[in-house]
Amino acid sequence: MYIVHVYVHVKPDQVEAFISATRENAGKSAVNEPGIARFDVMQQADDPTHLVLIEIYRTPEDAARHKETKHYNRWREVAEPMMVEPRTRVVYKNIFPSDSGYLISQGD
């Protein structure tokens, strides 16, 4: 698995709009991209302007393909102006559970 945590700091008056746009992107990603094992959106409990996107791809190439999709590019266009500062990311390797322990998240 190729795991990416994306750290985002959103303008206070843009939090709900950012979450809406991000939920749409995550949902389309999970449903339309077979290379995505999970796509989770987390909001910091004590500061709702900080969010983490946890993107779990089957391969690094799947992550690159994600950035070519219409829904990702639409999200980037809409979401970037909502951010206080440019997002950052950290790539992780999987240790536990095993790669087969990941399920595709279909969102709600």
CA proximity to 102, closest of 40, 33, 37, 42? 37
3-state secondary structure the chain: CEEEEEEEEECHHHHHHHHHHHHHHHHHHHHHCCCEEEEEEEECCCCCCEEEEEEEECCHHHHHHHCCCHHHHHHHHHHHHHECCCCEEEEEECCCCCHHHCCCCCCC
> What is the rounded average pLDDT of the residues 88-99?
90
Does the pTM surpass 0.85? The reply is yes
pLDDT value of residue 108: 47
The domain limits of the chain are 2-86
CATH class of this structure's domain 2-86: alpha beta
Q: How many CB atoms lie within 10 A of CB 50?
A: 16
pLDDT in tens, 24-83: 999 999 889 999 999 999 999 999 999 999 999 999 999 999 999 999 999 999 999 999
**Backbone φ/ψ region at 71: left (φ over 0), alpha (ψ -120 to 50), beta:** alpha
